Amino acid sequence: LADPQSTFDLVVEHMRDTTKLETTSALLEWDDHTYLPSGGGAYRAEQVTFLSGLIHQRRTTKQLGTWLEELATSELAAQRETPVGAAIAGWLRDYRRQVRLPQALVEAIARATSLGQQAWVAARSADRWSDFLPHLREIINLRRQEAQLLSDDGQLYDALLDQYEEGARTAEITSMFAELRDELVKLLKELKDASSKPSGQSWRYAIPLPEQRQASRWIASQIGYDFERGRLDETAHPFCTTLGPNDCRILTRYHEDNFPSGFYSTLHEAGHGLYEQGLPIDWFGLPPGAAASLGVHESQSRLWENFVGRSAPFWRWCFPQLKQRFGTAWNELDAMQLFRDANLVQPSLVRVEADEVTYNLHILIRFELEQELINGDLKVEDAPQAWNDRYERYLGIKPQTDRDGILQDVHWSAGLIGYFPTYTLGNLYAAQLMDAMRADLGNVDDLLENGNFDGLLQWLRDKIHVHGRCLPPDQLIRRTTGRAISAQPLVAYLRQKLEVAYSMV
């Protein structure tokens, strides 16, 4: 009988090789979102479909199953708190999930979502929902089949959610989100009635794209993003992707007449990038070197984008620096005005441009609709109407076009169903992490006001990044922040900040 350590080493080698295929596929997708000519789309779909089949075979081989069974009962697996034990637990979880899915289904999803994303881009730009409808119908149908194969208790949405946020349950999220919604709706009303509101006038100056590009690179490196191990490119829908242990790429977008859009996208994606760059390199491609969950990932991006980047001390530091770059355009502004305008709360149709309060209502709408689509309670062809109705109900505004409605997000075209709730979970985690960081460091505002981000980053490295996927997200956050996940810290943070931004105190 082989000793567990040699078996462990065999699995490590197998997994590292599988990661080479996965990162190759990620590179093809990065290219798809940056430089691929539109004529190359059909063949690209075949490339990623073929790779997804190879990856699935490697993730589900009988040999791997035999090795993992051996390891599951070994003394190595018992050390759940060590990286080795955590690696085995992570592999077993992934294997047991993957092995339930036939390769034909995995390939069908890869093809449908590659073509689906291309169709979505065209349908969105033409504002023609009917062009996207057959693709979304197919994607929902395939993901439902997947959920049926994965679920033991018939809770289909849980099966999809669990893939992005290990251990998360629809019922728990529903009640947490309901509490958050009630608090946010109340806050929204108070802000609407506030006597002094931010004007948003700071953003009225067009900033030329070359200056925006420079400002984005500058702020990303200021917070610690390492350009020797990453790069910043442009795309229609910003994201962050990891192609190797020293190659994590972020993508943003710029609009000449909307400076905060590009600036905050960059801060957001750089926050994701800092997490990836802080994961243990020695464990790259293995659970201890991977992100804990999408919710934890999002907590990192939100923390830098919002909790740091929309704070008053941040703007006291950042404003003079940007004014120097932008010259006369910003001469008549001041730091406080920038801070206030960065916190203007206003119901709007487009999620990615939403403020911190209404953002979570956008997520709630998607969370509800996804469940209905997967459970079959809502027909795909009726989804645009359901979307618009819910915008009216939760945000008091109604999209006039599908482009500003159901066609706005890339996620469903990419098969990402069950993903949206991780955005709001990320906001909740970030609020708790920020409280814990303030308690530990004591002088966070002073650091921000001096543009000294090292202490914050080091804290996140020690508390979150270095642990990779060794703990489930819920445990990682509980352990770091000393409290269970709840809506209260986020609500308290928003209330405190907005009272200042709106001069309600």
Q: Give me 230's structure tokens.
A: 């990453």
Cβ distance to Zn ion smaller for residue 52 or 301: 301
**Minimum gap (Å) between residue 271 Cβ and Zn ion:** 8
Token look-up 């390891």 returns 71
Choose between 91 and 263: whose C-beta lies nearer to Zn ion.
Answer: 263
Compare residues 300 and 480 and give the one whose CB is closer to Zn ion. 300
Question: 351 or 478: whose CB is closer to Zn ion?
Answer: 351
CA 375/CA 157 separation, integer angstroms:
8
Residue of minimal CB distance from Zn ion? 301
Query: To the nearest whole angstrom, how small is the minimum distance from the Cβ of residue 298 to Zn ion?
Result: 5
User: Could you give the dihedral angle defined by the CA atoms of residues 352, 354, 358 and 360, in that order, rounded to the nearest 10 degrees?
Assistant: 20
Work out how close the CB of 268 gets to Zn ion at its nearest, in angstroms, rounded to a whole number.
Answer: 6
**Closer residue to Zn ion in complex, CB, 64/425:** 425
Q: Is 494 exposed, middle or buried (0-12, 13-18, 19+ CB in 10 A)?
A: buried
Long-range contacts of residues 250-259, Cβ cutoff 8 Å, at least 24 apart: 250/220, 250/225, 251/30, 251/33, 251/34, 252/216, 254/209, 254/212, 254/213, 254/216, 256/206, 256/207, 256/208, 256/209, 256/212, 257/206, 258/203, 259/203, 259/205, 259/207, 259/212
Strand 247-252 and strand 230-234: the pairing is: parallel
Q: Find the shortest distance in angstroms from Cβ 303 to Zn ion.
A: 11
Helix (H) or strand (E) holding 240: strand 240-244
The verdict on whether 269 is a catalytic residue reads yes
Q: Collapse the DSSP code of 63 into the 3-class scheme (helix H, G, I; strand E, B; otherwise coil) and give the result.
A: helix
Active-site residue, selected from the candidate residues 165, 166, 183, 269: 269
Residues 255-314 that bind Zn ion (CB under 5 A): 301
Q: How far apart are CA 26 and CA 144, in angstroms?
A: 24
Distance CA(264)–CA(310), nearest Å, equals 9
Residue count at the site for Zn ion (CB under 5 A)?
1
The closest of 327, 340, 381, 33 to 205, measured between CA atoms, is: 327
Q: Of 277 and 301, which has the nearer Cβ to Zn ion? A: 301
Q: Which is nearer to Zn ion, 146 or 166 (CB)?
A: 166
Nearest distance from residue 373's CB to Zn ion, in Å?
22
- Residue 418 tokens, joined: 């069950």
Dihedral over alpha carbons 75, 76, 82, 83 (to 10 degrees) = -170
- Nearest approach in angstroms of CB 301 to Zn ion is 4
Give least dist CB 286 to Zn ion, A.
23
Residues marked active site are found at 269
Residues that bind Zn ion in the complex, under the rule CB under 5 A: 301
